[in-house]
Chain A
Amino acid sequence: MDKILEVKDLVVGYKGKNGFVRAVDGVSFDINKGETICIVGESGSGKSVTSMSIMRLVEFENGKILNGEISFKGESLTTKKADEMRKIRGSKISMIFQEPLTALNPVFTIGKQISEAILFHHKIGKEEAWKEAEKLVRLVGISDPEGRLKQYPHELSGGMRQRVMIAMALASEPELLIADEPTTALDVTIEAQILELLRNLREEKKMSIMLITHDIGVAAEMANRIIIMYAGKIMEIANTLDIFEQPLHPYTKGLLESVPKMDGQRGVPLKSINGSIPSLNEIPDGCRFSPRCPFATEKCHQEAPAMETRGDRQVACWHVDYLLEHSLLDVEEEGEISIES
């Protein structure tokens, strides 16, 4: 399969008091043509920063790509000049954001904001761009496009605004669409509609999608492959089905267990992962997940596991074999866990 995006050893830092704080620390993955990949993780896991780095938007927000390589269809994005990168943003790679209310400029009409996105990348007249905008608005399922284009963002509902954002992102038929928590701020019914729209557009436009979410349920619905991130590092990459069938990383397992189930027993508390994600200033030694990991051993606290390949999946954990062996058993039901390392 053709790779559309390759990320290698990406390190992204934000300027802090004592030098750079690494929000993303050595992340490698790739996206195939026409594939939907989901990056899943808690807030602060570095998933948004990863996407902002691909767009090279981090540098506008005090961030910096410190190391690594991002290439889009074989072309390096990390070495591109600001103006060359600008031409790629919004045309070949587009992005939609979490907050559709604040992501649209309040003082310009929807029509102006969509047609502008077209005009940045195509040499056509304003009226023509407006007509294109009308088509896009219709494409994303907004009724009465003519009327809507003349409205301002505050006159639209949250779902409508996100549709407008999507229309804007599609302005130049991008090959890769990055969606950063596009449905987090929306009601569940609207969320389903927006995800449905993204799926349809993916088929119609044959584009790749990189979806960022903290909701593994959303990932299950959308993704071909899932990337699990934690505290700036990738924990596991696998096909969606594999992940749900057999998580290889304790963090992934924890994420899956904390999803409420339809057949779950009443009165049994929902499982959650103890503790919280570490702040970037106090990254633990060894495996970053070790302080919260039920399987953690001395080795985990001292030495960070490297990414290892297992068939067509990748995982960074010392205890992969143990997890594989005990695939059918719920480890917690066995009582005390003892692992020799």
Chain B
Amino acid sequence: MHTSIPNKKYSGGDEVLRFLLNRLGQSAILLLIVTIITFFLINLAPGGPASTMRMDASPEERQAMVEKLGLDQPIHIRYIDWITNALKGDLGVSFTSSEPVVQRIAERLPYTIELTVFTIILSITIGILFGVISAIKRGKAQDHVINFFSVLGLSVPAFWLGLMLILLFSINLGWLPSSGVGARGADFNFWGWISHLIMPVLILTTTVLPNIVRFTRSSMLEVISQNYIRTARAKGAKESIVLYVHALRNALIPVVTIIGVLIPRLLSGAVITEAIFGWTGIGTLILEAARGRDYPLVMGVTVVITVVVVLCNLIVDLIYSRIDPRVKNV
């Protein structure tokens, strides 16, 4: 009479491993396609490193530059050269600074990670909190206030808001430094670090926070009208348990997905934010690279950003399968 039920879920680490390998395979293909598109786009764009030379450079000098950088080779040969080296871990040498690309990225990446990690933590906690409040207090004052600021955050451009903040806090009040990353290394001090972070994090947060708030709100509203919420109440659950245990857990499932989608937006937002606040991260690096026609550097930064986005989405998928038992692929 005893029938055993096969436990399909959590049947060990095997499935997780298979999932990861599968995803890594897909990611490798994606990465390859991204590098091809970027390489051809930047190389086929008018102008080139030689066009960024001094105005008085002679045509011979320009030609010498082109030959020195190997740009006289056909484009597909150059791509094959680049990808062969890249696979060995060599992303080439920057045209503009003659330093290895890997080294330049390694110097800048930690700053961007700092900026985005703070932003993500802030956006997720505040975003979910406000989204939930907005849903629970639907149609009441709290909802309207949150809604107003969400729309404001979505519609005000980050560069304008950044400049206004600088005007207020740096120039008029003199409370916060207007640019830079603060002293690092031996001179590092906590307040100096935080004071430089506040405004860039705030600006970057406004680019993703409203999306999370609005998405959490609508997701929460949808869940609240589900039958299982009625069941929870019929069981005699307190409202706090109904909302924060039964409803929120379900409402977060789509929110996790949207966070995955927002990560690329966060990185592109970082370019603008870093430029405004002189934050020497990947965002300013990519601007320098594009402006100086620094092909290897552009390629290097592209690869790094793609890898970061892919990794973040992988993490999001892993979290997703943890909070939704119906997802079977992990």
Contact = CB atoms under 8 A, between A and B. Distances in A.
Given A103-B228, A154-B325, A120 B235 contact: yes
B104 interface: no
Given A86-B236, A107-B323, A117-B235, A147 B227 contact: no
A90 interface: yes
Interface in A49-106: 55, 57, 60-61, 86-91, 94-95, 97, 99, 102-106
A148 to B, nearest CB: 7
A238 B93 CA distance: 92
Contacts of B233: 57, 60, 89
B234 A94 contact: yes
A262 to B, nearest CB: 35
A17 to B, nearest CB: 15
A143 B231 contact: no
B314 interface: no
B238 A86 contact: yes
Interface stretch (B1-9, B11-19, B258-266, B276-284): B1-9
Contacts of A165: 231
A89 B237 CA distance: 9
Contacts of A90: 234-237
Given A103-B231, A104-B228, A106-B228, A120 B237 contact: yes
B326 A154 contact: yes
A116 B231 contact: no
Nearest to A172: B236
Contacts of A117: 235-236
B232 interface: yes
A91 B236 contact: yes
Which secondary structure characterizes the binding site on chain B?
A: loop
Nearest to B225: A61
Contacts of A154: 325-326
Interface residues of B, number: 28
A147 B5 CA distance: 6
Given A116-B235, A117-B236, A144-B4, A107 B250 contact: yes
B234 A143 contact: no
A313 interface: no
Contacts of B249: 105, 107-108
B231 A155 contact: no
B5 A144 contact: yes
B324 interface: yes
A168 interface: yes
A157 interface: no
Interface string A139-169: 0000110011011101100000000010010
Contacts of B7: 147, 150
B76 interface: no
Contacts of B5: 144, 147-148, 151
A152 B327 CA distance: 12
A55 B230 CA distance: 11
B226 interface: yes
B62 interface: no
B246 interface: yes
Contacts of B246: 105, 108
A236 B9 CA distance: 52
17 contacts: A57-B230, A57-B234, A86-B237, A87-B236, A90-B235, A90-B237, A94-B235, A99-B227, A106-B325, A108-B246, A143-B3, A144-B4, A147-B5, A148-B5, A150-B7, A152-B9, A171-B235
Given A57-B230, A90-B236, A144-B5, 6 more contacts: A55-B234, A61-B230, A103-B231, A117-B235, A120-B235, A143-B1
5 closest A-B pairs by beta carbon, nearest first, are: A90-B236, A90-B235, A102-B227, A147-B5, A105-B228
Interface of A: 55, 57, 60-61, 86-91, 94-95, 97, 99, 102-109, 116-117, 120-121, 143-144, 147-148, 150-152, 154-155, 165, 168, 171
